[in-house]
């Protein structure tokens, strides 16, 4: 399974792609950030981020997109921008019929470090260790996106229920169409 993790942010949106391997191992595919200029109007900033997310989805062709669940923060403008970018990622995935999963920061920390109260440095160090990297991915948003993707792969089995419910709600013809679309947009990995 290939997962695109999205750590939403209006200035820097972390993007990280991992593939699952046998034995609960994970392989890094790509990591980076989508950026927007603080000098631009919000609509232009959102467009810049949306275009990069679209490029990543088209280039990486993930099976699922894992997005950080936005939670209330003290700074309303920060949470608004984060929520807007999270919405862009979810919409871009939905347009491609790619399932979306939302994970809280505590879930991500617990999945990657074993503690839902781990600090950013601990999460980044564990991401590097899990992926066998010599250095921590920079900036922090990129490492956070990889942590989201890893969290999604390592989530409890019960978390699979949402995409299954969506598939069950489809008719046989809709499921066949979705499977054909998914197969057509995804080249064989060698």
| CATH number of domain containing 75 | 3.30.420.10
Has residue 155 been placed in a domain? yes
Domain ranges, residue 76 = 2-159
- Tell me: is residue 68 an annotated ligand-binding position: yes
Q: State pLDDT tens for residues 13-25.
A: 999 999 999 988 9
Cα–Cα distance measured from residue 35 to residue 45, given in angstroms and rounded to the nearest whole number: 8
Cα→Cα distances 36→58, 132, 143, Å: 20, 30, 18
Has residue 90 been placed in a domain? yes
More confident residue, 183 or 144: 144
Has residue 105 been placed in a domain? yes
Provide the phi-psi class of 172: left if phi over 0, else alpha when psi is between -120 and 50, else beta.
Answer: alpha
User: From the candidates 19, 107, 141, 144, which is the catalytic residue?
Assistant: 141
pTM above 0.85, yes or no: no
More confident residue, 55 or 161: 55
Provide the phi-psi class of 102: left if phi over 0, else alpha when psi is between -120 and 50, else beta.
Answer: beta
Q: Is 10 helix (H, G, I), strand (E, B) or coil?
A: coil
Active site residue 68: yes
Has residue 165 been placed in a domain? no
Active site residue 119: no
Specify the pairing of strand 64-68 against strand 25-35: unpaired
Give the N- to C-terminal CA distance of the chain in Å, as an integer: 14
- Confidence label for 60 from pLDDT (cuts 50, 70 and 90): very high
Has residue 80 been placed in a domain? yes
Provide the phi-psi class of 61: left if phi over 0, else alpha when psi is between -120 and 50, else beta.
Answer: left
Has residue 138 been placed in a domain? yes
Active site residue 141: yes
Domain count, the chain: 1
User: From the candidates 19, 68, 107, 144, which is the catalytic residue?
Assistant: 68
């Amino acid at each position: 399974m290939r997962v695109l993790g999205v750590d939403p942010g209006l200035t820097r949106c972390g993007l990280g792609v991992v593939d699952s391997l046998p034995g609960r191992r994970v392989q890094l595919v790509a990591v980076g950030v989508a950026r927007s200029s603080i000098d631009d109007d919000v609509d232009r900033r959102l467009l810049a981020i949306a275009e990069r997310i679209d490029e990543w989805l088209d280039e990486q062709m993930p099976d699922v997109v894992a997005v950080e669940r936005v939670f209330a923060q003290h700074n309303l403008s920060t949470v608004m921008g984060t929520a807007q970018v999270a919405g862009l990622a979810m919409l871009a995935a939905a347009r491609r019929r790619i399932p979306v999963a939302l994970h809280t920061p505590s879930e991500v920390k617990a999945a990657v470090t074993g503690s839902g109260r781990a600090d950013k440095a601990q999460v980044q160090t564990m991401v590097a260790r899990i992926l066998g990297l010599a250095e921590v991915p920079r900036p922090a948003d990129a490492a956070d996106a990889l942590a989201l993707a890893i969290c999604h792969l390592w989530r409890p089995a019960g978390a699979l229920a949402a995409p299954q419910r969506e598939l069950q709600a489809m008719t046989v013809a809709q499921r066949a169409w979705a499977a054909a679309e998914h197969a057509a947009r995804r080249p064989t990995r060698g």
